[in-house]
A = this chain, B = another copy of it.
Amino acid sequence: MRILVDMDGVLADFERGFLEKYRKQYPDKPYVLLEERRNFQVKDDYSEELQPLVKAIYQSPGFIRSLPPIAGGLEALCEMAVLGHDLFICTSPLSQYDPCVVEKYHWVDEHLGRDWIKKIILANDKTLIRGDILIDDKPEIKGLETPSWEHILYTQPYNQHVPSKRRLTWQNWKEVLRV
């Protein structure tokens, strides 16, 4: 199988990286714990007044590159590859692409190694990428094409409400993909 794996919220812990930097920089401002997040985009869980501060955090140089990995994700990726699957990291950059895009490459290089660089696909419309499975935390993935892949939702607090889709986390991916 060709398995496409999203990056932010699936391999790289965007939410934890964000919250740590935000709370450090604005210790007196209100914040939303991961368990309480309800919107896919972190900024949408903050008031209009706080949104510029939120954006400035995740657009800042070094933010993407220094994201911690989500526990079990890198190991799962390598294990799937060993099982003979074709793995690709399929990610959409932030609209403020500098330095986001190059930092995504650095992240993969530093956490998975040089060979994985060739496995990165940067695309805004993931329906244009051919694969059997897409593991992604985004509730709905739309684009120009009917996808060739099945979307398996990577479970996060902000997508709990999405019905009728297969889901997984890096704790249960083997059972789910075996179905």
Residues of A within 8 A of B (CB): 2, 86, 88, 93, 95, 97-99, 101-102, 105-106, 109, 117-125, 128-131, 144-145, 148
Query: CB-CB < 8 A to A120: which residues of B?
Result: 122-124
Query: CB-CB < 8 A to A119: which residues of B?
Result: 124
Q: List 11 A-B contacts (CB under 8 A).
A: A2-B144, A93-B105, A97-B102, A97-B109, A97-B117, A99-B102, A101-B102, A120-B123, A120-B124, A128-B130, A130-B130
Contact of A86 among B97, B118, B144 (CB under 8 A): B144
Query: CB-CB < 8 A to A93: which residues of B?
Result: 105
Closest to A92 in B: B118
Number of copies of this chain that the complex holds: 2
Docked Cα-Cα span, A82 to B77, in Å, equals 42
B130 and A131 within 8 A (CB):
no
Docked Cα-Cα span, A148 to B93, in Å, equals 25
Instruction: Kindly provide the distance from the CB of A55 to the nearest chain B CB, expressed in whole angstroms.
Output: 16
Docked Cα-Cα span, A62 to B156, in Å, equals 39
Docked Cα-Cα span, A118 to B122, in Å, equals 10
Contact of A128 among B97, B105, B121, B124 (CB under 8 A): B121
Contact of A105 among B101, B106, B130 (CB under 8 A): B101
Closest to A88 in B: B128
Query: CB-CB < 8 A to A118: which residues of B?
Result: 124-125
Known: A105-B101, A129-B129. A95 touches B121 (CB 8 A): no
Query: CB-CB < 8 A to A121: which residues of B?
Result: 121-124, 128
A98 and B88 within 8 A (CB):
no
